Structure 1
Amino acid sequence: MLKFLCIGSLIFVALIGYGVYWAFFDMNRLPTGDYLTEETSPDGTYTLKAYVTNGGATTSYAIRGELVFNNNNNRTKNIYWNYREETANITWLDDDTVVINGHTLHAPNDTFDFRREG
Protein backbone atom coordinates (compact mmCIF):
# COMPACT_ATOMS: atom_id res chain seq x y z
CA MET A 1 0.00 0.00 0.00
CA LEU A 2 2.84 2.41 0.84
CA LYS A 3 4.39 1.67 -2.56
CA PHE A 4 1.21 2.76 -4.39
CA LEU A 5 0.95 5.89 -2.26
CA CYS A 6 4.54 6.87 -3.10
CA ILE A 7 4.05 6.24 -6.82
CA GLY A 8 0.79 8.17 -6.81
CA SER A 9 2.44 11.09 -5.01
CA LEU A 10 5.33 11.15 -7.50
CA ILE A 11 2.93 11.18 -10.44
CA PHE A 12 0.93 14.00 -8.85
CA VAL A 13 4.07 16.11 -8.23
CA ALA A 14 5.28 15.45 -11.80
CA LEU A 15 1.94 16.59 -13.24
CA ILE A 16 1.99 19.77 -11.13
CA GLY A 17 5.59 20.46 -12.23
CA TYR A 18 4.73 20.00 -15.89
CA GLY A 19 1.66 22.21 -15.50
CA VAL A 20 3.76 25.04 -14.08
CA TYR A 21 6.28 24.67 -16.91
CA TRP A 22 3.52 24.61 -19.56
CA ALA A 23 1.72 27.63 -18.11
CA PHE A 24 4.72 29.88 -17.45
CA PHE A 25 7.82 28.77 -19.38
CA ASP A 26 6.83 26.98 -22.61
CA MET A 27 8.10 29.05 -25.58
CA ASN A 28 5.34 27.61 -27.77
CA ARG A 29 2.76 29.51 -25.70
CA LEU A 30 4.18 33.01 -26.22
CA PRO A 31 1.85 35.78 -27.41
CA THR A 32 1.85 36.28 -31.17
CA GLY A 33 2.55 40.02 -31.23
CA ASP A 34 2.70 42.44 -34.13
CA TYR A 35 5.10 41.86 -37.02
CA LEU A 36 8.20 44.05 -36.74
CA THR A 37 10.93 42.90 -39.15
CA GLU A 38 12.68 39.87 -40.62
CA GLU A 39 16.07 38.81 -41.97
CA THR A 40 16.92 35.74 -44.06
CA SER A 41 20.11 33.72 -43.55
CA PRO A 42 22.79 34.08 -46.26
CA ASP A 43 22.04 30.64 -47.75
CA GLY A 44 18.26 31.12 -47.50
CA THR A 45 17.72 28.17 -45.15
CA TYR A 46 16.21 30.24 -42.32
CA THR A 47 14.30 33.47 -41.86
CA LEU A 48 14.15 35.09 -38.44
CA LYS A 49 10.96 37.09 -37.98
CA ALA A 50 10.61 39.48 -35.06
CA TYR A 51 7.35 40.44 -33.40
CA VAL A 52 6.71 43.02 -30.69
CA THR A 53 4.18 42.13 -28.01
CA ASN A 54 2.34 44.47 -25.70
CA GLY A 55 1.33 42.85 -22.44
CA GLY A 56 -0.99 45.69 -21.48
CA ALA A 57 -0.83 48.52 -18.99
CA THR A 58 1.03 46.60 -16.29
CA THR A 59 3.85 45.09 -18.38
CA SER A 60 6.47 46.32 -20.79
CA TYR A 61 6.91 45.46 -24.46
CA ALA A 62 8.74 42.26 -25.41
CA ILE A 63 10.32 40.88 -28.59
CA ARG A 64 9.56 37.38 -29.86
CA GLY A 65 11.87 35.89 -32.50
CA GLU A 66 10.42 33.18 -34.69
CA LEU A 67 12.75 31.03 -36.81
CA VAL A 68 11.18 29.94 -40.09
CA PHE A 69 12.59 26.81 -41.76
CA ASN A 70 12.33 27.87 -45.42
CA ASN A 71 13.18 24.41 -46.80
CA ASN A 72 10.88 22.48 -44.45
CA ASN A 73 7.34 23.58 -45.35
CA ASN A 74 7.95 26.91 -43.54
CA ARG A 75 7.84 25.20 -40.14
CA THR A 76 8.42 27.70 -37.33
CA LYS A 77 10.06 27.66 -33.92
CA ASN A 78 10.27 30.39 -31.27
CA ILE A 79 13.94 30.94 -30.47
CA TYR A 80 14.01 34.41 -28.89
CA TRP A 81 11.96 36.03 -26.12
CA ASN A 82 13.18 39.14 -24.33
CA TYR A 83 11.35 41.57 -22.08
CA ARG A 84 11.60 45.37 -22.13
CA GLU A 85 12.50 45.64 -25.81
CA GLU A 86 10.57 47.39 -28.57
CA THR A 87 12.92 46.98 -31.54
CA ALA A 88 14.79 44.08 -33.09
CA ASN A 89 18.25 44.39 -34.63
CA ILE A 90 18.88 41.13 -36.52
CA THR A 91 22.20 40.24 -38.16
CA TRP A 92 23.21 36.89 -39.65
CA LEU A 93 26.93 36.20 -39.08
CA ASP A 94 26.88 33.06 -41.24
CA ASP A 95 24.37 30.48 -42.50
CA ASP A 96 23.52 29.25 -38.98
CA THR A 97 24.51 32.06 -36.58
CA VAL A 98 22.23 35.00 -35.92
CA VAL A 99 22.59 37.93 -33.54
CA ILE A 100 19.38 39.52 -32.31
CA ASN A 101 19.68 42.54 -30.03
CA GLY A 102 23.17 41.45 -28.95
CA HIS A 103 22.29 37.80 -28.24
CA THR A 104 24.10 35.28 -30.46
CA LEU A 105 22.13 32.14 -31.34
CA HIS A 106 23.11 29.13 -33.44
CA ALA A 107 20.12 28.02 -35.51
CA PRO A 108 18.16 25.90 -35.14
CA ASN A 109 18.94 24.62 -31.63
CA ASP A 110 19.85 27.66 -29.51
CA THR A 111 17.20 29.73 -27.78
CA PHE A 112 17.19 32.85 -25.62
CA ASP A 113 14.44 33.31 -23.04
CA PHE A 114 14.84 36.11 -20.46
CA ARG A 115 12.84 34.06 -17.93
CA ARG A 116 15.64 31.48 -17.76
CA GLU A 117 18.53 33.93 -17.56
CA GLY A 118 18.83 35.04 -14.10
Structure 2
Amino acid sequence: MRFTVSSLIFLGCICYGVYWAFFDMDRLPEGEFLTEQISPDGKYTLKAYVTNGGATTAYSVRGELIFHERNNKKKNIYWEYREETASINWIDHDTVVINGHKLNVPNERYDFRRE
Protein backbone atom coordinates (compact mmCIF):
# COMPACT_ATOMS: atom_id res chain seq x y z
CA MET A 1 0.00 0.00 0.00
CA ARG A 2 2.79 2.44 0.92
CA PHE A 3 4.60 1.66 -2.32
CA THR A 4 1.45 2.45 -4.36
CA VAL A 5 0.84 5.76 -2.60
CA SER A 6 4.51 6.74 -2.87
CA SER A 7 4.53 5.82 -6.56
CA LEU A 8 1.41 7.90 -7.24
CA ILE A 9 2.85 10.91 -5.42
CA PHE A 10 6.14 10.59 -7.33
CA LEU A 11 4.33 10.23 -10.67
CA GLY A 12 2.15 13.24 -9.85
CA CYS A 13 5.24 15.35 -9.10
CA ILE A 14 6.84 14.31 -12.40
CA CYS A 15 3.68 15.17 -14.37
CA TYR A 16 3.37 18.55 -12.69
CA GLY A 17 7.06 19.27 -13.34
CA VAL A 18 6.65 18.55 -17.05
CA TYR A 19 3.56 20.79 -17.22
CA TRP A 20 5.31 23.58 -15.32
CA ALA A 21 8.45 23.43 -17.46
CA PHE A 22 6.85 23.11 -20.89
CA PHE A 23 3.17 24.14 -20.89
CA ASP A 24 2.53 26.73 -18.15
CA MET A 25 1.43 29.96 -19.88
CA ASP A 26 2.49 32.00 -16.86
CA ARG A 27 6.13 31.19 -17.66
CA LEU A 28 6.15 32.63 -21.21
CA PRO A 29 8.86 35.13 -22.12
CA GLU A 30 7.96 38.83 -21.86
CA GLY A 31 8.84 39.89 -25.41
CA GLU A 32 8.73 43.30 -27.07
CA PHE A 33 5.49 45.28 -27.10
CA LEU A 34 3.58 45.22 -30.42
CA THR A 35 0.11 46.65 -29.91
CA GLU A 36 -2.87 46.85 -27.57
CA GLN A 37 -6.64 47.16 -27.79
CA ILE A 38 -9.14 48.07 -25.07
CA SER A 39 -12.44 46.16 -24.90
CA PRO A 40 -15.58 48.12 -25.85
CA ASP A 41 -16.71 48.38 -22.22
CA GLY A 42 -13.22 49.20 -20.91
CA LYS A 43 -13.05 46.15 -18.60
CA TYR A 44 -10.05 44.63 -20.38
CA THR A 45 -6.98 45.58 -22.37
CA LEU A 46 -5.30 43.02 -24.57
CA LYS A 47 -1.61 43.65 -25.15
CA ALA A 48 0.43 41.73 -27.72
CA TYR A 49 4.16 41.08 -27.53
CA VAL A 50 6.57 39.46 -29.99
CA THR A 51 9.26 37.17 -28.60
CA ASN A 52 12.49 36.13 -30.23
CA GLY A 53 13.63 32.70 -29.14
CA GLY A 54 17.07 33.08 -30.70
CA ALA A 55 18.75 31.64 -33.76
CA THR A 56 17.16 28.20 -33.50
CA THR A 57 13.48 29.16 -33.11
CA ALA A 58 11.01 31.39 -34.91
CA TYR A 59 9.28 34.47 -33.52
CA SER A 60 6.16 34.01 -31.39
CA VAL A 61 3.32 36.28 -30.30
CA ARG A 62 2.07 36.39 -26.72
CA GLY A 63 -1.26 37.99 -25.77
CA GLU A 64 -1.72 39.35 -22.27
CA LEU A 65 -5.17 40.21 -20.92
CA ILE A 66 -5.30 42.97 -18.30
CA PHE A 67 -8.29 43.09 -15.92
CA HIS A 68 -8.99 46.74 -15.08
CA GLU A 69 -11.63 45.88 -12.48
CA ARG A 70 -9.16 43.62 -10.59
CA ASN A 71 -6.31 46.07 -9.96
CA ASN A 72 -4.85 45.48 -13.45
CA LYS A 73 -4.25 41.78 -12.88
CA LYS A 74 -2.57 40.16 -15.92
CA LYS A 75 -3.19 36.79 -17.56
CA ASN A 76 -1.61 35.25 -20.66
CA ILE A 77 -4.39 34.12 -23.01
CA TYR A 78 -2.64 33.79 -26.39
CA TRP A 79 0.55 32.08 -27.54
CA GLU A 80 1.28 31.42 -31.23
CA TYR A 81 4.50 30.20 -32.82
CA ARG A 82 5.86 31.48 -36.15
CA GLU A 83 4.14 34.87 -35.95
CA GLU A 84 5.64 38.36 -35.81
CA THR A 85 2.54 40.58 -35.89
CA ALA A 86 -0.73 40.78 -34.00
CA SER A 87 -4.16 41.80 -35.22
CA ILE A 88 -6.58 42.34 -32.32
CA ASN A 89 -10.29 42.98 -32.87
CA TRP A 90 -12.93 43.04 -30.15
CA ILE A 91 -16.26 41.63 -31.37
CA ASP A 92 -18.15 42.46 -28.18
CA HIS A 93 -17.40 43.05 -24.48
CA ASP A 94 -16.12 39.51 -23.89
CA THR A 95 -15.08 38.22 -27.33
CA VAL A 96 -11.80 39.04 -29.03
CA VAL A 97 -10.18 37.79 -32.24
CA ILE A 98 -6.38 37.61 -32.23
CA ASN A 99 -4.80 36.73 -35.57
CA GLY A 100 -7.92 34.79 -36.55
CA HIS A 101 -8.35 32.95 -33.22
CA LYS A 102 -11.65 33.80 -31.52
CA LEU A 103 -11.55 33.77 -27.70
CA ASN A 104 -14.21 34.41 -25.08
CA VAL A 105 -12.43 36.24 -22.28
CA PRO A 106 -11.50 35.83 -19.54
CA ASN A 107 -11.78 32.02 -19.55
CA GLU A 108 -10.60 30.87 -22.99
CA ARG A 109 -6.99 30.65 -24.07
CA TYR A 110 -5.18 29.79 -27.27
CA ASP A 111 -1.85 27.97 -27.03
CA PHE A 112 -0.36 26.44 -30.18
CA ARG A 113 1.31 23.74 -28.07
CA ARG A 114 -2.11 22.26 -27.28
CA GLU A 115 -3.25 21.93 -30.89
- Residue 108 of structure 2 aligns with an amino acid whose one-letter code is D
CA–CA distance in structure 2, aligned partners of residues 80 and 54 of structure 1:
16
Alignment of 1:1-118 (within 5 A): 3-117=1-115
CA–CA distance in structure 1, aligned partners of residues 69 and 4 of structure 2:
48
Alignment RMSD: 0.4
Following superposition, the deviation at residue 70 of structure 1 comes to 1.1
Which one has a bigger Cα radius of gyration?
Answer: 1
Following superposition, the deviation at residue 71 of structure 1 comes to 1.5
CA–CA distance in structure 2, aligned partners of residues 75 and 88 of structure 1:
21
CA–CA distance in structure 2, aligned partners of residues 16 and 85 of structure 1:
31
Runs of 4+ in 1 over 2 A off after TM superposition: none
- C-alpha deviations, 1:61-81, integer Å up to 9, x for none? 000000000111000000000
Gaps of 5+ in 1: none
- Residue 4 of structure 2 aligns with an amino acid whose one-letter code is C
- Indicate the SS of the match to 2:106: coil
Count of residues in Structure 1 that have an aligned counterpart in Structure 2: 115
Gaps of 5+ in 2: none
Q: Give TM-score scaled by structure 2 length.
A: 0.99
CA–CA distance in structure 2, aligned partners of residues 6 and 94 of structure 1:
51
CA–CA distance in structure 1, aligned partners of residues 69 and 6 of structure 2:
45
